[in-house]
């Protein structure tokens, strides 16, 4: 799109936002032009929490499907729009609810006492089968809440689970899922970049595999990354191993630094193809048509309970329904 067309689309979006009474939420992995127009940007945890504070009748969620579902679960009375209903997530898809249900049954039949800790990148049906929901921002705190006499079944991200197991010292049964973007960073290219920028700090998302995390100076979710780079007063080089659009957010929050994306093995851009389904035009169209909308599903009731207990209650509480009940 030419700059003039982009300006026209942006003007239409702003007018529609006003007439609908909408709030636009955008994940850090959205294109910069979408983040720029959003009322609130954030990682999954921040957006889930912010979604509960929105007073407008309509939420437009620029992110992927499970995130919009989460916003709907936390705001049952609001209209939640997603620019492209097909914006899915490979990580979420790697853990279908029926498969998880069968696996949990098998563990129970074998007398295993466990709690299921689920990364937020999962469907509502999987959340409904869980004891806890975590994001990369609160996972460590939640894992420490699980009673010591319970095993932990961690789904769906094996890499985040392995990392959490290391930092908390809790053994985990890991689901064999992963994110197609974070799994493909090239270790050879990272080593070359480290030689090219010997003073650079490497920052990596915990969804990356161990072979990348072992070279990181800092491991954390996107909010934590912003905090980390903001703590460096002098201009610094950072090698960044997470979704490429995060660079836009880092550059706008701490522009004094230089950011170098770690290339992927198969694709140098490292952009999430699911997030990329949302475009400015689709954002405009969904507001114009008040569709596609994320509507309430039967499994949302149980999933909402787990979400609220995990994400909105910072104090340790007892689990209402221990697994196996
Ligand atoms: S970056 Fe990975 S985890 Fe995030 S939405 Fe895309 S596929 Fe899913």
Give percent above pLDDT 70 in the chain. 96
Task: Please identify which residue in the block is written with the tokens 């620029």.
Answer: 62
Tally the residues of the chain.
Answer: 325
Query: Which of the 8 DSSP states describes residue 231?
Result: T
How does 124-144 read in b/e, with b if 16+ C-beta sit within 10 Å?
A: bbbbbbbbbbbbbbbbeebbe
Determine whether the shortest distance from the Cβ of 275 to ligand 1 is under 6 A: yes
| Domains, the chain, ordered by start | 3-87+275-301 (3.40.50.10800), 92-179 (3.40.50.10800), 182-261 (3.40.50.10800)
Establish whether residue 89 lines the binding site of ligand 1, counting it when its CB lies within 6 angstroms of any ligand atom.
Answer: yes
Structure tokens at 128: 């409904």
The model's pLDDT over 253-292, given as tens digits with 9 standing for 90+, comes to 999 999 999 999 877 678 999 999 999 999 999 999 999 9
CA nearest 123: which of 322, 294, 318, 319?
294
- Percent helix, strand, coil in the chain, to 5, is 45, 15, 40
Of 144-153, 294-303, 306-315, minimum mean pLDDT range: 306-315
pLDDT digits (tens, 9 = 90+) for 25-83: 999 999 999 999 999 999 988 998 898 899 999 999 999 999 999 999 999 999 999 99
CB neighbours of residue 255 within 10 Å: 10
Q: Counting atoms of ligand 1 from 1, which one is nearest the CA of 157?
A: 3
pLDDT value for 317: 41
Mean pLDDT confidence for 3-28: 94
CA of 233 to the centre of ligand 1 (A): 31
Which one of 28, 68, 84, 90 would you pick to mutate in the ligand 1 pocket, going by the greatest count of ligand atoms within 8 A of its CB? Answer: 90
Q: Is the CB of 180 under 6 A from ligand 1?
A: yes
Cβ of 287 below 6 Å from ligand 1: no
Whether residue 181 has its Cβ less than 6 Å from ligand 1: yes
Contact 51, 313 (CB under 8 A): no
Cis peptide preceding 185, ω within 30 of 0: no
> Would the CB of 179 count as within 6 Å of ligand 1?
yes
Nearest CA to ligand 1 atom 8: 89
Q: What angle do CA 1, 290, 82 make, to 5 degrees?
A: 65
- Beta-bridge mates of residue 308: none
Both tokens assigned to 65: 């499907």
CB 160 less than 6 A from any atom of ligand 1: no
Which residue puts its alpha carbon closest to atom 5 of ligand 1? Answer: 89
Specify the pLDDT at position 204.
Answer: 97
């Amino acid at each position: 799109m030419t700059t003039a067309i982009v300006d026209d689309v942006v003007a239409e979006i702003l007018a529609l936002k006003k007439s609908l009474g909408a709030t636009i939420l955008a994940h850090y992995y959205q294109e910069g032009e979408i983040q720029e127009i959003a009322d609130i940007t954030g990682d999954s945890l921040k957006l889930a929490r912010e979604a509960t504070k929105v007073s407008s009748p309509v939420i437009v969620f620029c992110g992927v499907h499970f995130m919009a579902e989460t916003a709907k679960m936390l705001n049952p009375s609001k209209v939640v729009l997603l620019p492209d209903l097909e914006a899915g997530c490979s990580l979420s898809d790697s853990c279908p609810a029926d498969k998880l249900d069968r696996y949990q049954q098998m563990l129970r039949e074998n007398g295993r006492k466990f709690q299921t800790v689920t990364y937020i990148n999962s469907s509502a049906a999987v959340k409904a089968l869980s004891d806890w929901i975590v994001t990369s921002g609160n996972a460590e705190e939640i894992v420490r809440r699980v009673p010591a006499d319970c095993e932990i079944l961690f789904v769906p991200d094996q890499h985040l689970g392995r990392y959490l197991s290391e930092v908390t010292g809790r053994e985990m049964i890991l689901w064999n899922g992963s994110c197609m973007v974070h799994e493909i960073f090239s270790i050879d290219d990272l080593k070359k970049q480290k030689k090219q920028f010997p003073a650079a700090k490497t920052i990596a998302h915990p969804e990356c595999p161990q072979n990348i995390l072992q070279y990181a100076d800092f491991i954390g979710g996107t909010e934590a990354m912003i905090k980390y780079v903001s703590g460096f007063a002098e201009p610094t080089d950072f090698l960044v191993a997470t979704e490429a659009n995060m660079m836009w957010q880092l550059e706008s929050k701490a522009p004094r630094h230089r950011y170098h994306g770690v290339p992927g093995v198969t694709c140098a851009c490292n952009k999430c193809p699911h997030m990329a389904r949302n475009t400015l035009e689709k954002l405009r169209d969904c507001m114009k048509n008040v569709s596609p909308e994320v509507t309430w599903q039967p499994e949302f009731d149980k999933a909402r309970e787990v979400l609220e207990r995990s994400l909105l209650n910072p104090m340790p509480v007892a689990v209402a329904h221990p697994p196996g009940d």
